[in-house]
Copies of this chain bind each other. A is one copy, B any other.
Amino acid sequence: MTTEPRSFFSHTAAISPLPTQSYASEASPALMVRGLGKQYVTPKRRLTVFDGIDLDVQPGELVCLLGPSGCGKSSLLLTIAGLQSADRGDVWVEGQAIRSPHPSIGLMFQEAALLPWLTVQQNIAVGLQLRHMPRLSRPALRSRIDQALLSVGLQDFRYSYPHQLSGGMAQRVAIARTIARQPRLLLMDEPFSALDAITRLEMQQLLLNIIAQQHCAVLLVTHDIDEALLLSDRILLMGRNPGHIYQSWRVTAAQPRLRHTQDLMTLRAEILAALSDVMAEPAAMTV
């Protein structure tokens, strides 16, 4: 393991209204979120799950979202994806304001959400055969599915049904389903949480390759600080009650980062400390 100079990360101030404005400024950002807030209203109570969220993701950038369990990461992702309406604030994808799902967004849920009556390859095909997608010829479709299956290492399981898969295999099918659509903006909710160390590294590499090839933007929720350190261009730490961006870091170390694990340790410690602080914040604000 080689060592490199210490200056590979820059530290931006926490809870800034416009966290990171001007680093790749010519094109409009792949994702721009401003002042986003959301409440869950149940008969028993009203929970502000997050509020005042500002964030940007540039094309070709991978941003990781960390935060304590239940702070609102999944809710934020669903709201950005247009699957649930925000109570305030706006979301722009490639300069376009959106309130409902957009075809160039690829969302991966925290659960695999496979359709149990379809085989693995049919589950992947479903996302490719919708009207808004460019029509694919049979062989083109076939080769897209083959490629997606190959990249997640499940070519032998194309005819299996979801209940015949292990937890990690189901998660990989969900990855394949998402990337096969070649989205411009990937929103991923703990995509590698069920994978062993090696497979996880393979999948992480796959993701980096896809970003490099297709210059797409990725917002990735994870609970694994090491994963964030290995993958991201920026790391956002979310606080809770209600969810907000507590702090953010830019990670500038070159890939492959596994070479630089020692160097990232300081940042790791810093993030862990911030996470502890976040979890010690006073609770409530449940209106």
Which residue numbers of A lie inside 8 Å of B, CB to CB?
40, 42, 44, 66-70, 72-75, 110-111, 156, 159, 164-169, 172, 189-190, 193-200, 223-225, 272, 275-276, 279, 283
Contacts and interface: CB of A to CB of B under 8 A. Distances in A.
Given A167-B110, A167-B190, A172 B69 contact: yes
Nearest to A279: B198
B275 A196 contact: yes
Nearest to A225: B197
Contacts of A40: 164
Contact of A196 (B68, B168, B172): B68
**7 nearest A-B pairs in the assembled complex, by CB-CB distance:** A69-B168, A196-B223, A70-B166, A110-B167, A69-B199, A70-B169, A193-B193
A199 B225 CA distance: 13
23 contacts: A40-B164, A42-B164, A68-B198, A68-B199, A69-B169, A69-B195, A69-B196, A70-B165, A70-B168, A70-B169, A110-B194, A111-B111, A111-B167, A167-B190, A168-B223, A190-B194, A193-B193, A193-B194, A194-B223, A196-B223, A196-B275, A198-B275, A199-B279
Quickly give the copy total for this chain: 2
A127 to B, nearest CB: 22
A40, A199, A283 — most chain B CB neighbours (10 Å): A199
A67, A69, A75, A189 — most chain B CB neighbours (10 Å): A69
Nearest to A271: B197
